[in-house]
Amino acid sequence: MIATNSSFEFTLPRALEATEPPEQRGQGRDDVRLLVSQRSSGKIEHRRFSDLLALGFQRAVLHLARRLSDTEWIAELRHAEPDSLRTTPWLDARAGTEIALRGGGRAVLVRPAVDSEVARLWVLQVTLELSADEYLMRWGRPIVYGHITKSRPLSAYQTVFADVPGSAEMPSAARPFTADLVTRLLVKGVDLAPIVLHCGVSSLEAHEPPQPEPFEVPPDTAQRVNAAIRVGGRVIAVGTTCVRALESSAVGPGLVLPSSGLTNLVVDAAYTPRVTTGLLTGWHEPMASHLAMVEAFAGRRLLEVSYRAALDAGYLWHEFGDSHLILP
């Protein structure tokens, strides 16, 4: 979703794919594992996510959490498999095709959202009897990938920061945060500054460029980020989507202006972050585009060392898995 593909390759064992939330594994949300890697020293530590309290943060920027409008959406087209959570890509769709939606709605395929030979994402003209938010709350369900074996309620895919509707997927890097952990971080003096970026479909194919995504960096957030930078504090982005929003609002090294709109920013290994000094993220699949962004913060050597350490130690992958904190 964020960057061009890195050549970094590895094999992910099926046993390390988290198929259920930690709550179903007898853990709390914030009891997942946390690997902390530091670029300047090359040091790696194995922690628990709740150990964020012990890491001496001075500032952190959290991503809270697509449709174009109530009547025009971008959607991924897939066929549902009978009696299964699994779906298969619908790759032979044609403009003008009308789709009957549950609850009396309908959608008409307008045009492919991506200029490519195989159209997976389409712009739809949607007609509903309810508002878009009401319709999605009643009839929508979370995106389910192949490693998930059981349907989960929407609450399993919400973060403690969820506020503004609009994301197609959960900003999963923030999932381990709990209200109690956030309160303790605030008491300790960590400044949690909100950013809104509506996550699109993050599982892009190799031929697909990054999609524009709506974002907002409010004036108060911009002021707090700039203040942290002035006093030498760390600005830690929670999630790759947060990096995209924050860096899109940067007008130079160490300076953020309030902004909103659509971001087309690509952050890859060749990109030098202008305001973001660290990244809290999950563990990404082999050849995933997100790895190129991780490399922008970790560098190639630390990226490889960190992933090897996570594999050797049995860290869990995907949205219900463990976390990775990259510090400067």
State residue 58's pLDDT score. Answer: 38
Residues 196 and 214: their CA atoms lie apart, in Å, by 8
Mean pLDDT, all residues of the chain: 79
Candidate ranges 79-93, 99-113, 144-158; pick with highest mean pLDDT: 99-113
CB atoms within 10 A of CB 11: 6
One domain, residues 226 and 246: yes
One domain, residues 126 and 194: no
Report if residue 84 sits inside a domain.
yes
What six digits make up the tokens of 31?
């009891």
Number of domains into which the chain is organized: 2
One domain, residues 53 and 169: yes
One domain, residues 278 and 311: yes
Per residue in 8-23, pLDDT tens?
A: 678 899 989 988 888 8
Q: What is the largest CA-CA distance in the chain?
A: 59
139-148, 183-192, 193-202: segment of lowest average pLDDT: 193-202
Per residue in 114-159, pLDDT tens?
A: 666 667 778 888 888 888 778 877 777 666 666 666 777 666 667 7
Report if residue 2 sits inside a domain.
no
Q: Which residues have C-beta within 8 Å of that of residue 84, sequence separation ≥ 6?
A: none
Residue at which a domain ends, from 83, 106, 139: 139
Distances (CA, A) of 37 to 165, 239, 314: 33, 16, 16
One domain, residues 190 and 54: yes
One domain, residues 46 and 24: yes
Report if residue 238 sits inside a domain.
yes
Report if residue 258 sits inside a domain.
yes
One domain, residues 218 and 299: yes
- To the nearest whole percent, how much of the chain has pLDDT over 70? 74
Q: How confident is the model at residue 84 (pLDDT cuts 50, 70, 90)?
A: low
What six digits make up the tokens of 182?
């956030």
Report if residue 197 sits inside a domain.
yes
Kindly provide the b/e burial profile for residues 282-305, where b requires at least 16 CB atoms within 10 angstroms of the residue's own CB: bbbbeebbbbbbbbbbbbeebbee
Residue range(s) defining the domain that contains residue 229: 14-64+159-327
Dihedral Cα 61, 67, 68, 70, nearest 10 deg: -120
Say if residue 4's pLDDT is above 50: no
Report if residue 1 sits inside a domain.
no
Residues 299 and 42: their CA atoms lie apart, in Å, by 10
State residue 294's pLDDT score. Answer: 92
Residue at which a domain ends, from 139, 172, 194: 139
Backbone angles phi, psi at 249, to 5 degrees: -95, -5
State residue 163's pLDDT score. Answer: 60
Report if residue 290 sits inside a domain.
yes
State residue 323's pLDDT score. Answer: 93
Residues 199 and 106: their CA atoms lie apart, in Å, by 24
One domain, residues 26 and 100: no
Residue at which a domain ends, from 139, 168, 184: 139
One domain, residues 239 and 296: yes
One domain, residues 45 and 186: yes
At 190, which CATH number?
Answer: 3.40.1780.10
One domain, residues 195 and 221: yes
Residues 86 and 143: their CA atoms lie apart, in Å, by 10
Report if residue 211 sits inside a domain.
yes
Written as one letter, the residue type at 120 is R
One domain, residues 254 and 123: no
| Residue 46: its H or E element | strand 44-48
